[in-house]
Amino acid sequence: MTERDSRFDCLFESVAIGPVTAKNRFYQVPHCNGMGHAMPNSVAAMRGVKAEGGWAVVSTEECDIHASTDVLPYPEARLWDAEDGRRMALMVEAVHAQGALAAVELVHNGHAASNRYSRLPVMGVSDLPVAALEPSQACAMTRRDISDVRRWHRQAALRARDIGFDIVYVYAGHDLTLGMHFLSRRYNRRGDEYGGSLTNRLRLTQELLEDTREAVGDRCGIAFRFAVDELLGSEGLSCEAEGRDVVEMLAEHPDLWDVNLSDWPNDSVTARFGEEGAQEPYVKFVKQVTSRPVVGVGRFTSPDVMVSQIQRGILDMIGAARPSIADPFLPRKIEEGRLDDIRECIGCNICVMGDWTHTPIQCTQNPTMGEEWRRGWHPENMNRKGHSKRILVVGAGPAGLEAAMSLGRRGYEVALADTNEGGGRVVKEAGLPGLSVWRRVVDYRLGQIEKLNQVTFYPGSHMDRDSIFSYGAEHVAIATGSRWRQDGLGRANWESLEGIADHGSVFTPDDIVEGNLPVAGPVVIYDDDHYYLGGIIAQMLAQAGLSVTLVTPGPEVSHWTRYTMEQPRIEALLRRLGVHLEVNHKLTGVFPDRVVAVSNLTAEVQSIDAVSLVLVTARDPVNTLYFEMAGIEEERREELPFTLERIGDCCAPSTIAASVYHGHRYARELDLDIDRDDVPFRREYAVI
């Protein structure tokens, strides 16, 4: 084992948090996962793996304390009663088994809840509409309601203590919590002792801290998660005004300060719009005010940056949500001097998508995330090699790289061939504005493959049917990717666009990432993909000085990036650059100098000047090689001297995360007897 670099010794010092002690400075802060109370076994296994990976503290997601703060369909954690406690105990046991501390983030969401399941009236600081877009309002809490919330919070804290949690949170952040709502001058319209001055608006939070300490402070550390800045200027809390005032007023009340930004898109800003350590200017004052340990986040992936945060007195503990998802073993790899083995977070926020879509968490870098219990996958350990020996993977994009690396880790002899230098779409897209860190997906896998003697990479190798047959592999995986269509067919257009063949200047994202850009405008970008590419291409061309119109059938530009919390930033950037936006429109005709678009809502037709046209619509799998061997109807598949599979975009074009996952699943399942008629993973069932 490689020895740890002494420069990083400070990261492995213990930290006292009230009556408990963290064994090092690595702290997995609360983060959602799309599984929550509905999948307690899955959550426990996922958190347990992080504890195994060296995180000294492993936290839950937000944990609802009572039926009056029901946030379904979001499946967050719950501590409404003893049965919820029994389920959450699974996580505590998994974390303790690895020698880590377990933390629970108790919360009442106020008007950010909707109570669709409990159907109780929503309670809020004032009479306000609920945060969800629905025709409901919260009723202003009475003193009796406030007393109830304090009691419910105390009861949840006692349940948490009794099932073994070591750290109990009071939570006021992300614009989602009752504590923040009371603090906010935007929401707090009260005229009693809980409204008006900052002292009054802080009263409930202070009471919850005192109640929690009195109830469990002898055995549990009391953490306070607080957003010191809402990035709203004078309309919200800020690190230069009331955000700082709150820290000064409560400086010694908690045992630990967990500080960040609000709202969530600011706290978990994507790499496209925020650098590593971007929160430092906002949180650096906190340690100057309190003697308590401070944890903060910043998509920390570099050990040198982490050490700098500690040595310069910015933080006492390195907080992480997304980096702990990308690599649950990040602390252990630093401790063991294996820095090259770290899967660095790329800040794409695919993990966040799980919470917004109420589905198990995913990660582009870590395909085992969310599959620890369901499929029994471990981020560092592969299942044993089967009976086969030689595997050929054709295509070294994200799916092919992951498959080859993971097969090599299982012990197979693997040949990986690619017509280029490897990386596929990732390398090309990493050249787009703001996406350079996406290159980590390729660099990590190529670096790992280089260490595996049983995996041989053949860049610049063209594989055809004859060369594949002559290689003599027992299994062949085709990972040749996909290409964007040039005819406009997509979700909104089920046939090729009329007149497209006569337009002399039509481009696709493949052209753009390969350096073939329009040189004349006006340019129309037709985005029927709704993810990041349409917006980025519009940004590039506008910054190059071209007149750009982005047309999309969606209700807003880059609509799917709502799930990665980027959409408002993308639209704001395009508007600042002067890009003209036409939403709820689909193209119906193309002419040499213009296009025709029809409104989805009114059927109104408009003509838009377009010397150049960029189509971001649908992709065709590059699967010719596969069907040459398998037969058009796959009728020859069983007769081949090897098994043959398509993986990644060659099978079903999707996200980079989906391609990595498909490559990993192929590697995991090779030589296993998988019944295609069975459910291929364990499911969690409601108790009947």
pLDDT in tens, 361-400: 999 999 999 999 999 999 999 999 999 999 999 999 999 9
Per-residue confidence (pLDDT) for residue 196, from 0 to 100: 97
C-beta separation of 530 from 552 below 8 A: yes
Q: Kindly state the helix (H) or strand (E) to which residue 398 belongs, with its residue range.
A: helix 398-410
Using a 10 angstrom Cβ sphere, with 0-12 exposed, 13-18 middle and 19 or more buried, the burial of residue 136 is middle
**Distance separating alpha carbons of residues 185 and 237, to the nearest angstrom:** 9
Query: Cα separations (Å) of 578 from 38, 345, 457, 597?
Result: 45, 32, 45, 20
- DSSP, residue by residue, 410-447: HT-EEEEEESSSS-HHHHHHTTSTT-GGGGHHHHHHHH
The single residue of 32, 220, 348, 651 carrying the catalytic annotation is 32
What pLDDT, on a 0 to 100 scale, did the predictor assign at position 1? Answer: 56
pLDDT tens by residue, 646-683: 999 999 999 999 999 999 999 999 999 888 888 889 99
Residue 181 and residue 110 in contact, taking contact as beta carbons nearer than 8 Å? yes
Residue 320: inside a domain, yes or no? yes
Residue 679: inside a domain:
no
Same domain flag for 97 and 128: yes
**What CATH number is associated with residue 535?**
3.50.50.60
Percent of the chain topping pLDDT 70: 100
pLDDT of residue 391: 98
Catalytic, out of 111, 174, 530, 559: 174
Identify whether residues 445 and 492 lie together within a single domain.
no
Joined together, the tokens standing for residue 621 give 């799998």
DSSP 8-state code for residue 7:
G
**Same domain assignment for residues 127 and 169:** yes
**Residue 368 is assigned to a structural domain of this protein:** no
Say what the pLDDT of residue 285 is. Answer: 97
What is the three-state SS of 229-294?
A: ECCCHHHCCCCCCHHHHHHHHCCCCCCEEEEEECCHHHHCCCCCCCCCCCCHHHHCCHHHHCCCCE
- Evaluate if residue 414 carries a pLDDT over 90: yes
pLDDT of 143 above 90: yes
Q: Do both 278 and 183 map to the same domain?
A: yes
The predicted structure's pLDDT at residue 674: 85
pLDDT above 80 for 2? no
Query: Rounded to whole angstroms, how far apart are CA atoms 367 and 172?
Result: 32
Do 280 and 309 meet the contact criterion of CB atoms below 8 Å apart? yes
- 222 touches 212 (CB < 8 A): yes
Condensed to tens digits (0 to 9), the pLDDT of residues 12-30 reads: 999 999 999 999 999 999 9
Instruction: Place 137 in a pLDDT band, splitting at 50, 70 and 90.
Output: very high
E strands, 528-575, are 548-551
Pair 150, 125 in one domain: yes
Is residue 127 in a domain? Answer: yes
267, 527, 528, 649: the active-site residue: 267
Single-letter amino acid code for the residue at 529: D
Can you tell me the distance from the alpha carbon of 74 to that of 201, in angstroms, rounded to the nearest whole number? 28
Do the Cβ atoms of 122 and 129 come closer than 8 Å? no
- pLDDT category of residue 521 using cuts at 50, 70 and 90: confident
The half-sphere exposure of 232 on its side-chain side, counting CA atoms within 13 A, is: 18
Same domain, 316 and 462: no
Answer whether 527's CB lies under 8 Å from 490's CB.
no
Please give the C-alpha separations between residue 545 and each of 35, 512, 552, 579, in angstroms, as whole numbers. Answer: 46, 16, 21, 11
* Mean pLDDT, the chain, whole residue set: 96
| Residue 313 pLDDT class (50, 70, 90 cuts) | very high
- Based on the fold, state whether residues 143 and 197 are members of the same structural domain: yes
- Rounded to whole angstroms, how far apart are CA atoms 468 and 463? 6
**Residue 474 backbone zone (phi > 0: left; psi -120 to 50: alpha; other: beta):** alpha
Residue showing tokens 């995913």 = 362
CA distances from 291 to 18, 172, 216, 247, 637 (A): 12, 20, 21, 11, 68
Residue 599 structure tokens: 């409104």
Decide if 675 is inside a domain: no
How far apart CA 116 and CA 70 sit, in angstroms, is: 7
Residues 176 and 253 in one domain: yes
Beta bridge partners of 27: 57, 319
**Of 580, 596, 620, which residue constitutes the final position of a domain?**
620
- State percent of the chain over pLDDT 90: 94
**345 counts as catalytic:** no
9 assigned to active site: no
Active site residue 171: yes
pLDDT in tens, 508-517: 999 999 999 9
By 3-state DSSP, what share of the chain in percent is helix, strand and coil, each rounded to 5? 35, 20, 45
- Determine the pLDDT at residue 497: 93
CATH of residue 306's domain is 3.20.20.70
Range of the domain at 607: 485-620
Active site residue 32: yes
583, 627: one domain? no
Nearest to 325 by CA among 530, 645, 646, 58: 58
Q: What residue has token string 């699943």?
A: 665
Task: Assess if residue 687 is contained within a domain.
Answer: no
Question: Which entry of 27, 74, 169, 171 is annotated as an active-site residue?
Answer: 171
- Whether 379 is in a domain gets the answer no
Residues 263, 233 within the same domain: yes
Q: Are residues 431 and 552 in the same domain?
A: no
Is the model's pLDDT at 588 over the cut of 70?
yes
pLDDT at 349: 97
Residue 682 domain flag: no
Residue 160 CA neighbour count, 13 Å, CB half: 36
Of residues 665, 643, 667, the one with CA closest to residue 386: 667
Name, in order, each residue with C-beta under 8 angstroms of 295's C-beta and a sequence gap of 6 or more. 27, 29, 256, 257, 258, 259, 315, 316, 317, 318, 319
Number of independent structural domains in the chain = 3
Provide the CATH number for the domain around residue 400.
3.40.50.720
**Residue 190: how many CB atoms within 10 A of its CB?**
16
Query: Are 530 and 582 in a shared domain?
Result: yes
Domain boundary among the residues 357, 380, 399 is at 357
Position 686 scores a pLDDT of 83
Contact between residue 324 and residue 379 where contact means Cβ atoms under 8 Å apart: no
